[in-house]
Structure 1
Amino acid sequence: MNGDKLQCVSNSSCSTYTALSANGYCTDYSMLIDTSSSQISDVEIINMDSTFCIAYRGSTWPGIITNSCGFSCYVDSARWSLGCCLDLTTQEDGFINSAPVATAISPIYVPTNTINVITIPATDADDDNLRCRWASNTSLFDECGDICGIASGCTLYEENCTLVFNSTGKQTGNYYAVALMVEDFYNDTNSTSLSSVSIQFLIHIVAKPTCYSKPTISLNSSINTTLEVGTEYSFTFIIKTNC
């Protein structure tokens, strides 16, 4: 992945933006499921009122089930396009909009022949109204490469960013790619988004376990705790497998 960049993809000028490295610093690694995650942040000085799109693009998705062929089919080394469009125009309140932040674990393991609810964690610093939609490839911006459109077996509830995945009849071992856009709106009646951010992940079909009771997680402290700056606080997660 060395040399991968978050590039300007607009036909017009991208102001003073310079391509940023997409190679993050490893934050987590699991030997059990052989996955890792990373994060990276940087600072750019960009002119006010600039509007342009940036994306991280490549073509090395693992073998996945996608709708890029017009129906559900297997594709090896599918293209990806992960990015967003920036609008640094000052709003009516005198501030620049803060885009939402969304995260997801990938892959998400789903047992075959089950119905699963996947909630997309999303927050917004401006407390704007958040909604999710399927990513698409338009003349303005390719949001999703070869994994655009509704993923097979999925139903998206846009208002609360919840995905329902039906794995009935799915083959164990297959991967399904999901490409969504999380958007913020001024209020719940507005139809024009202030910004859009991409979130993409894989769903991995696994054999149904002998015990399908989901684990329960609890805390030994209050859900809402007030702390003074500079103080230490410890708490314990209690996890029960129920099997």
Structure 2
Amino acid sequence: MDSSAVIGTTISQRSGIVTLAADDNFSAAFQSNAWRTLATAAVATIMYPILKPVSQTIAINVPVADADGDIIRCRWATASNGVDECGGVCPPSSLPAGTSIYPNCTILITGQIVDDWLAVALTVEDFINSSSTDPLSSVPVQFLVQVVSQASCTSSPTIIGKSPQQSCTLILFGQTFVSQLILINNCGSNVTIIDMTTLAFPGMVRESSTQLNTTTYYSDLS
């Protein structure tokens, strides 16, 4: 046991053995009072299915976050040592040849057959620092990718708006957040953007998509 009068803490540790049967649920928790909260696991949010043009390599960036500010890394889900994270669709063997994942949670994938459905299973882990190899928590993430025919125009829309992509906007409690999602059509007047979708927190309202001119579409968020 160690203590510090300066910062008002007492530090100690203990160990114990708990015997569990198959399919048991086990929880570790602080009991009573005067405790700080346990470390928060990393979270990942992704919309699916993701439509991927055939024979075209795309980069899928899985959005991840950790409330504690821990280091986050991604890896393929595995089935080993009695722990099955992927339920029969363990990558990379379950995915097209050449599919790869990077620690920053970016996946490169190329589908070769139209109408194929690909199940992607990865695990998001948080670490106490950049050199640590022992995760504080491991969170399984699964999503679907559908391989579709090549479009007549392969230029994706440009996403702009009041808030930059992947930005974090601070709002006060009770304050109404107002923003706007703007898409620039890079395929000319022969192609029309018919809708936009968002992955938003509860209470967020997205208005219907509106065409401003031949290239610009927008949707209000509040």
Report the TM range for the smaller structure's normalisation: 0.5 to 0.7
Specify the SS of the correspondent of 2:74.
strand
Match of 1:209 in 2: 151
Structure with the bigger percentage of strand: 1
Which of 122, 141, 156 does residue 64 from structure 2 map onto? 122
Q: CA deviation at 1:142?
A: 1.1
**Residue 126 of structure 1: CA displacement?**
0.9
TM-score (norm 2): 0.64
Structure 2 unpaired stretches of 5+: 1-19, 188-222
In structure 2, relative to structure 1, the CA distance for the partners of 1:163 and 1:224 (3 Å cut) is closer
Change (3 A) 1:10 1:148: farther
Seq. identity, %: 34
- CA 1:116–1:221 in 2, change beyond 3 Å: closer, same or farther? closer
Of 41, 48, 51, 1:99 maps to: 41
Aligned partners of 1:178 and 1:117: how far apart in 2?
13
TM-superposed CA distance for 1:152, in Å, is: 2.0
Post-superposition shift, 1:175?
0.9
Aligned-partner residue type, residue 193 of structure 1 = P
Residue 162 of structure 1 is matched in structure 2 by 106
**Residue 141 of structure 1 aligns with which residue?**
83
Name the SS of the counterpart of 1:210 in structure 2. coil
- Read off the aligned partner of 1:133 and give its amino acid letter: R
Give the deviation of 1:213 after TM superposition.
Answer: 0.7
Tell me the residue number matched to 1:240. 184
Distance in 2 between residues matched to 1:132 and 1:10, nearest whole Å: 30
Deviates more, 1:226-235 or 1:177-186: 226-235
> What one-letter code is carried by the residue in structure 1 that aligns with 2:49?
P
Partner of residue 138, structure 2: 196
Structure 2 distance, partners of 1:207, 1:12, is 43
> Which entry has the higher C-alpha Rg, 1 or 2?
2
1:113 CA drift (Å): 1.5
TM-score of the aligned structures, taking structure 1 as reference length: 0.59
2:127 paired residue number: 185
- Quote the offset at 1:140 in angstroms: 3.1
User: 1:117, 1:165 within 8 Å by CA — same for their partners in 2?
Assistant: yes
Q: Measured at CA, do residues 97 and 242 of structure 1 come closer, stay the same or move farther in structure 2, by a change above 3 Å?
A: same
Q: Residues of 2 paired with 1:95 and 1:227: CA distance?
A: 23
- Aligned-pair CA distance for 1:97: 2.0
Q: Where do 1:76-91 residues align within 5 Å?
A: none
Look up the match of 1:229: 173
SS in 2 for 1:181: strand
Aligned Cα root-mean-square deviation (Å): 2.6
Give the secondary-structure state (helix, strand or coil) at the position aligned to 1:236: strand
Structure 2 residue identity aligned to 1:147: V
8 A Cα contact 1:132 1:181, kept in partner: yes
Please say if residues 218 and 237 of structure 1, whose CA atoms lie closer than 8 Å, have aligned partners that are also in contact.
yes
